[in-house]
Every structure is written in structure tokens, then in C-alpha cells.
A and B are shown apart, each in its own frame.
Chain A
């Protein structure tokens, strides 16, 4: 049976469907609630319904949360086999073949990375991935997503004019916090599925120990860099750990004995191009400025508000660096 046969037997694509996920606490994840809320707004504009699908085990409390966020009907698929992405693809694929969505939304998560592209290929349709913005053109009834390109250098808008379902994966803060109304009414349906003979084609075991190859400083995406006024180098290292960043410094940090020659950033050291460069206690001279001129976002933390780097950084915090670092590490938790 060809794909075209499937389409002629299936009903018209309709409604906005959201594949909801669970947070670490077993409740609906904040991003899933946000997406259901956004779907609610879009559905109200289009005059259609919002469906949520949730998969896994122990899903008791989750459906009412999704209804409170705006779902009209929640489809619950409860089975331990659903920890395998193969099973998720099968269950979702069968569900959407029987009830084709007009729009299908995922969180931009690992689950979505495994499942959304496969579903998009199966249904011969488009995928708008990692959207930071999403709109429905109500006149042409077309989904338009905004997504970052070249690691966020700029953004592109892409549309899915005719293929259905139009599928998108969404980053946090695309819609803003949802309005949760515990008095909303909605239906809860159990997804009919037969996973009795199911065997996943991929076997997973672990976690395992693995040391990835070292990333050199000039390729590091995040750097926390120390200067003479950093005060306490240990807190610099702790901040780097909290951010998953490389530790580096201006030349004076090497003079202080905190870092090695390879970690020096500046015209006579390494030139770096991270997404985030946090300069702790670095006053900022032309040599150092040369080394960081390609950094995407520079944060200066320094006691003097007239320090050159404080004036040219994208964001600055003026005060006692060790104290600020302690607060920052706390705020990042």
C-alpha cells in the first residue's frame, strides 16, 4: 500500500496537537505547559481544538495539568515500552495516521530530536526545528517559525505552506508562561496501542564512563577568564564549572600563577570566539580586547565602573568579584 492510498483513506488534517513531556518530577514539564498554552491561543484564532499526547508510565496527574493549560483532549499512552524512541515513533505514527493534525508541536528536546524528523519523513511533511518564535498566518493558514542560524548569529523565518501536519519543535520562552485554569474542562482518552510483541531496534545501556577529546581554548563556546582583580581564583573555577566553561585569564593571571601560558587570552596569547566570555577582575587593555573581539557576548565583573572592559562589555556587574561570583553561582542553580 503506498503513501497516497493512506492519504485518501485518512480524514482531513485538523487541530493543533502537542506532544507533551514530563519533567524530572513526573509532572508535565514547564515547556510542555507553555506550548499547550501557546497552542490554545493559536487554536482560538483558527477555530479548532487543542490535543495533547503524553507517553510513558505513571501518568496519572499529568492530563489534568495539560487541560488546565489549554488542552481540549489529552491522549494518554501508558506503557513501559514507551521509554524506547522506536516505540514512541510507532505509537505517534499510528495515532497521527488515524487522526492527522493540522499542526504538531514538540518541545525542542532529545525526545523530539529522535521522533519529530522521523514522523515528518513518514508523513512527507516539513519540520521547523528549534523555533524561538512561532506564528500562524491566519489568512493563509500557514505555520511560520523563527529559528537561529549559525549558532544564533541571526534568525531565519521559515514557513510550511501546504504540507500537513506542519511540525515544529519549540525552545523555551517562545510563547511565555501559560495561563493555568484548573476549572477548564477537557477529555482524557487512552491511546489504543499494541506493544505486546514490541522489540526496540536500538539497545541502550549505561551511563558509561567516557572522556571526550579536549576542546582547545580557541574553540571553547564558554569561557570564564580571570584578571588581577578577580580576588579568589577558586570561585572563578567554580563559576566555570557551573557554566560548563573553559578557564582562562588575561596575562596577569599567569603572572599570579593561576593559569598556564596556553590559557592566556589576548593579542600575545589566544584569540577566542566563544558564545559567552565572562571576564572576572579584568580591567581590559588593548591586548586583551584584541583577543576577545570575536566573542559573542562579553560579561565584565570588576570593582571599577570606569574600567575599559566594563564600558565595552555587553553586560557588566560592578562590585567585589568574589561576592558577585558567589551570587552568580547561586543564581545559576
Chain B
């Protein structure tokens, strides 16, 4: 049984600081990590592999550095890794990302389950999972905490608000895994080193995926940054209601 996991890299948030007064982001150390929610998706896939012996294939789009993410995934226990890279993929938004992943999954063939994390640490849109399902014509399930294979179906415990529900869909399906759903296993250091010696991911570009430049045109363009108001230390409030109002206005609680 073939399970695909779509992962992406995000800028490590411990490497930059935000100066609200200057309205600038200072990148002290530019490093990328595997998006935490995607690591949970990968862990869920590996648990399925442990349980029923599935083949886990990891897809990652991005420049050169995506190679490191794929090697880490292999060292965690994935069977195969595919690096999706092309000049035409630069600046890809959710629309284009879903097209790439769907094309790769169709090219792979025999995929019964696609897993991905619920939100990217950077954009936080949470759109790629359902977009991918639509591009493939498959059903999707959001906010999965546990994922199990059962006959021809996939069984999930998913959160909705503060509660949990049991959900089931026939395969093939896309399951979007919640960040924090599980504790992803660590890749053994020695195995990460081995990955550089004895393994390498496959590399697919736009032509391999059969995608034209017109199909890869993005719909969303970045237009700038905005910053939260400056911290006002020592702001004395006069009532609990005032505090709750402040927390809601600053979107710390809803």
C-alpha cells in the first residue's frame, strides 16, 4: 500500500526577530526546518507503515535545500523521496502547490492515501490539503489526530472545536494531520549521515510532471508586510473587562 506525505520547509522562527518600531524583520540566522505539522503527518504515515507495512513516499517542493528535508524524512523511515523543483515553481502559492503535488501523485500511481500537515508555520493558510484533494478528485478529512487503515477505508479521529469525532472515508483520500497530533520520531544521526552516502531522492521538474507555464501561473502575489502595534510595557489596566478586550483586539484570544 502506497502512502504519500507532502512536506515543506519553513524558515526557522528562532532565527529571526521582529522589530515592531522599525517595522522590520531581522533575519539573524537563515535556517529552514521541516514544517512541524508536516512532521506529524510523516509520523502518522510511518505509524501506518509500522502497522500494515505500507510504502511511504515523501514529496517536497523547493530549491536545493529541500534535499535536506527529504534526507531527514528518509532517515526517519520513509522509503522514497521526490524533490519537486523547477524555476517555474518559484513563488508557488496554494493553487500551484496543489497542482504540483497532484501531478506528482498521479505520476507515481497506485497512491491510496496522501497526508499533509494542517498549517504551514509561515503562511498558516491550511489550504494545501483540501486543494490537493480537489485536484485529485478525492475526499479529504481535516484536523486528524490519529490515522488508521481499515479494509478499503481510512479511519481518523479528528478534532472539531473542543471535541473529537470519528471519521471515515474510502481510499484514495487526503488526510490533513493536526500539528501536535503525535510526537514525531527523531531521525538517528547516523542514519542522516548514511542518507548522504547511500541514498538520494528523485528529482522531478515541470516537464516530468507534464505541467505547462500557463498552468503554473500563481493567483496570489505578496504585496508587503504589516506589524502588530509596539509593545507598551507596564500598561496598567483598570478592570478585568479591559484586559479581556485588549486580548481579543490583539487576537491573543478569540
Contacts and interface: CB of A to CB of B under 8 A. Distances in A.
6 contacts: A171-B251, A203-B167, A210-B164, A243-B253, A305-B236, A314-B233
Contact of B126 (A122, A129, A296): A129
B226 interface: yes
Given A148-B251, A150-B13, A155-B227, A212 B180 contact: yes
Interface residues of A, number: 77
Given A150-B121, A157-B223, A312-B234, 8 more contacts: A110-B161, A146-B226, A152-B251, A159-B221, A201-B170, A204-B166, A206-B165, A316-B237
Interface in B131-155: 131, 133-135, 139-142, 145-146
A277 B237 CA distance: 16
A144 interface: yes
B235 A154 contact: no
A213 interface: yes
A252 B169 CA distance: 52
Contacts of B125: 127, 129-130, 147
Given A156-B225, A158-B223, A313 B166 contact: no
B228 interface: yes
Listed residue (A158, A163, A276, A316) with the most chain B CB atoms within 10 angstroms of its CB: A158
Contact of B181 (A122, A127, A158, A212): A212
B158 to A, nearest CB: 8
A65 interface: no
B198 to A, nearest CB: 33
Contacts of B244: 328, 331-332
Nearest to B125: A129
A86 B207 CA distance: 33
Nearest to B254: A172
Interface in A98-156: 110, 113-114, 116-118, 120-122, 124-130, 132-133, 144, 146-156
A154 B167 contact: no
A173 interface: yes
Interface in B144-196: 145-146, 157, 160-161, 163-170, 173, 180-183
Interface string A173-186: 10000000000000
Contacts of B219: 120, 124-126, 160, 162-163
B133 to A, nearest CB: 7
A133 B223 CA distance: 13
Contact of B165 (A205, A313, A318): A205
A256 interface: no
Interface of B: 13, 18, 25, 93-95, 98, 121-131, 133-135, 139-142, 145-146, 157, 160-161, 163-170, 173, 180-183, 218-228, 231-241, 243-244, 246-254
B235 A314 contact: yes
A27 B170 CA distance: 35
A160 B121 contact: no
Contacts of A158: 220-223
Contacts of A203: 167-169
A129 B127 contact: yes
B167 A204 contact: yes
Contacts of A327: 239-241
A201 B169 contact: yes
Given A204-B166, A212-B180, A317-B240, A122 B134 contact: yes
A126 B130 contact: no
B131 A204 contact: no
A201 B237 CA distance: 51
A150 B123 CA distance: 7
B130 A117 contact: yes
Nearest to A132: B251
A207 interface: yes
Interface in A181-225: 201-210, 212-213, 215, 219
Given A152-B228, A296-B252, A316-B234, A209 B164 contact: yes
Contacts of A10: none
